[in-house]
Amino acid sequence: MKQRLFVLALIIHAFSLPVKAQNDDQPALEKPEIFSRPANGFTVVKVNPATNIKDQARTGTCWSFSTTSLLESQLLKNKLGSFDLSEMFTVRNMYVEKARNYILRQGSARFDEGGLGHDVIRSIDRYGAVPENVYTGMKPGETVYDHGVMVKMLKRYLDSMLKTQARPIPANWMTGYNKILDEYMGVVPEYFKYNGKRYSPKTFAQEAMNFKADDYVNITSFTHQPYYKPCILDVPDNFSNGSYYNLPLNEMIDLVKTAVNNGYTVMWDADVSNNGFFSKAGFALNLPPSAVVSMDSVRPDMPEDRYDEKIRQQLYETLVTQDDHLMHITGMQKSKSGKLFFIVKNSYGATGAYKGYINVSEAYFAINTISLVLPKAAINKALLDKLKIQ
């Protein structure tokens, strides 16, 4: 009886949460500052435009921040303007997809804050996009993202649907679920104005952004899957079973170098918990596991461990290299000794030695990369043909 009373109370709470009024007369988006942060003492190889640093705060939504930043850079490159897109609009849409997946798999599926870069591309293709000042994903008065309580509420609600043992479950279960999202993240606008024109999220993506999902390609590199073919990426956050084209390691590295040199940016999904990632110092190096290096003593030209596909695969299969964090590669530079570093935009706010940017060595990138998303236009025709991408 106590179980049933708890379920009933949770459902009543979800269906009785207040709904905020929508406003379709939003002001035009203010243009964000365009940053480029090469490190002192480095020789710049290439720095591509990127929009301002943001802070995902106390949420596991780096996948949305990093890939949204990629899209904003591509809009700059395509000369469509400087956009400040709402990461949380995409996050909210993915919470809905995660819920449906969780219910249909009867709780035998992952439900949390994580995701991957392809989820952003798929979300915008399906649901559209909105500017940040149209939908912040915060309640009135809030200034910092924090999804801890909300995610617990959402999961408890879903579990209450499944644990009653009553079948069929309520056909309108999604209504109560959306009420919880409305309460914690705000109501999604059906229409809004941008630069004097009225849009829906779908028409904004299509007309203002000229967005096409086919303009982006997902890449990975692991030896347990055949090369030059798509494969399902085996990481916990791939709740939607997204597929990635599998390349040999050196080809993946060369692809990123060429893309950045040609003015494109790349979404980077990587392990950041292994020895050598110093966020505050602004460097990531492929240091030996036994190396004891403090944040104050890290230097770009320190010796690094060697890397190859075999080492990389072993670290992945023994769960040393994991899907930790997604960021945005915006440029390249070289240290005094000639070592190549990728300039990486993070989403922890303007913190650390380089105000939100990190310098990632080629060796660290090679060992710790899980996946990439980049514009199809950044890939040469020979490789596109090999991957059978139209």
Q: Find the mean pLDDT for residues 19-40.
A: 50
* Structure confidence at residue 37 (pLDDT): 62
| CA–CA dist 83, 204 (Å, integer) | 12
Separation CA 287–CA 303 (nearest Å): 7
How far apart (Å, rounded) are the C-alpha atoms in residues 97 and 87? 16
Tell me the helix, strand and coil percentages in the chain, rounded to 5: 35, 20, 45
289 confidence band (pLDDT: 50, 70, 90): confident
The predicted pLDDT at position 72 comes to 98
Return the residue matching tokens 């930790």: 324
Span 151-157, average pLDDT = 98
- Tell which residue, 143, 101, 378, has the closest CA to residue 255: 378
Determine the pLDDT at residue 34: 53
Is residue 283's pLDDT more than 70?
yes
23 falls in which pLDDT band (50, 70, 90)?
very low
- 228 closest CA partner among 243, 248, 242: 248
Mean pLDDT, the chain, integer: 91
- Condensed to tens digits (0 to 9), the pLDDT of residues 328-340 reads 999 999 999 999 9
Residue 36 — very low, low, confident or very high, per pLDDT cuts 50/70/90? low
The residue type found at 224 is H
Helix axes 148-163, 2-16, angle to 10 degrees: 130
In this prediction, residue 35 carries a pLDDT of 54
Instruction: Give Cβ neighbours of residue 132 (< 8 Å, ≥ 6 apart).
Output: 29, 84, 85, 86, 87
